[in-house]
Structure 1
């Protein structure tokens, strides 16, 4: 009985140690002119669409405090030819 109790307690404590909450996905902020940005490290930038018009892209970055942010802004699409 003691072995069973010890086994149950060890499994419970090890499961709790490995359980981690998934990081919350940050809200997407739309860029406005003059917005103060604290970008310490760019993590990812989505590619522009293959159109000949302004198209939104998203940049995921870390700020100087280590927080993760997603910024959406418009760029010219990659579908234009001369």
Structure 2
């Protein structure tokens, strides 16, 4: 009887690991002029590339409903000098 319990315990533990929901990262949405943004809190902004010209940047933010979104937009890179 003890052998059955020792075999059943690891099996149930491994099944509970599969029962947890997988966290899926949202896809980046490209910004369009006039787009309504519901930004409650900015979580992260990727660093600007060291190039001279437009370069994409992603902003991860949380909206008023608590959902996380990623917005992609262009900025001028930090590699331009006068």
TM-score (norm 1): 0.81
Aligned counterparts of 1:63 and 1:15: Cα–Cα separation in 2: 35
Change (3 A) 1:65 1:9: farther
What is the TM-score with the length of structure 2 in the denominator?
0.81
Task: Note if 1:59 corresponds to 2:59.
Answer: yes
Kindly provide the CA deviation profile for residues 22-66 of structure 1, in whole angstroms up to 9, marking residues without a partner as x. Answer: 311211100011111112222221111111211110111222222
Aligned residues: 81
The runs of 4+ residues in structure 1 deviating greater than 6 Å are none
Residue 9 of structure 2 is aligned to residue 10 of structure 1: yes
Q: CA RMSD in A?
A: 1.7
